Copies of this chain bind each other. A is one copy, B any other.
């Protein structure tokens, strides 16, 4: 009602002045489906968004810069068609259900509701069909709106690579060792004194997320619930002195014997619904395989592909200790494929399926 100048959906970005929030606004600048109508924040309420984010250098639409930052609550949201939520865990836990009860359609990359049995946890290439769960969500929760989640920044790239492998080779066990960028901890995040000339072999709650979220995403939607995929994931996480790009080295055990060339083929050819629908934020190749020695590397590969930050780059594909195991290293941009990008791609998918607007 009364949107004469644009037929785009009006969206809100919560916590828009944060590091991931800015990534959203930047990626949504000149977006064909969505227009950022509301930005919220905490310490800069009342300021122009452009001045509140002047210290960074992500390119943003002038239109977005002119928005006034509002407080993060239902009143600020006006009649937006969708709400993107990169809220901190504690805030998301209570505010997101509140917004959904009021009728908002919330797509979140916060963690609290990811494992809720009626909240779809989506990487659009992997499990678009999990959106069916929304029907059940409506019945069970009696919410007026909907809540859709996207996974942890490390789990996103991991699940994307595991999906075609599981389809073709039936995974049995995956051990993953991560080398995660400091941007994964948000801003101000990791103190420089902690990470210069150092590694921290720990990220709070991260291993649990990596070990459970991909199994939900690769699971099957049953009548009442999602049956998680039937393999095991073990994680060992590390924080390193890189700015962006989570590197993950995998040791994979499968039910089937396989040749290495097959793995390359499976990964390279993998396409999902976003590629078929040619969604705006869908990279041409969700998974790119490199055979250059010593690659992928965060600094060189984090923006590879047609939509910078959305392709996962895989390299060092090699044998494991027996004929049913293999090793590989993947790199995934943690604030794009691991956060803003996956969530926007999910919204694009929902839009095309008539679930938004």
Contacts of A251 in B (CB 8 A): 175, 234, 236, 251
Contact A240 B56 (CB under 8 A): no
How many monomers of this protein are in the complex? Answer: 4
Contacts of A240 in B (CB 8 A): 179, 199, 240-241
Closest residue on chain B to residue A300 by CB atoms: B57
Contacts of A247 in B (CB 8 A): 199, 201, 238
Contact A316 B202 (CB under 8 A): yes
Contacts of A294 in B (CB 8 A): 55, 200-202
The docked-state distance in angstroms from the alpha carbon of A304 to that of B59 is: 11
Interface size on A, residues (CB 8 A): 55
Contact of A182 among B187, B193, B201, B316 (CB under 8 A): B193
* A177 interfacial by beta-carbon distance below 8 Å: yes
The distance from the CB of A229 to the nearest CB of chain B, in whole angstroms, is 15
* A297 interfacial by beta-carbon distance below 8 Å: yes
- A/B interface sample: 20 pairs, CB < 8 A: A55-B295, A57-B300, A57-B301, A57-B304, A179-B240, A182-B193, A187-B191, A188-B191, A189-B192, A196-B242, A197-B197, A199-B247, A199-B298, A200-B294, A201-B296, A201-B297, A201-B329, A236-B329, A238-B247, A243-B299
Which A residues fall within an 8 A CB radius of B? 19, 54-57, 173, 175, 177, 179, 182-183, 187-202, 232, 234, 236, 238, 240-243, 247, 249, 251, 292-301, 304, 315-316, 320-321, 327, 329
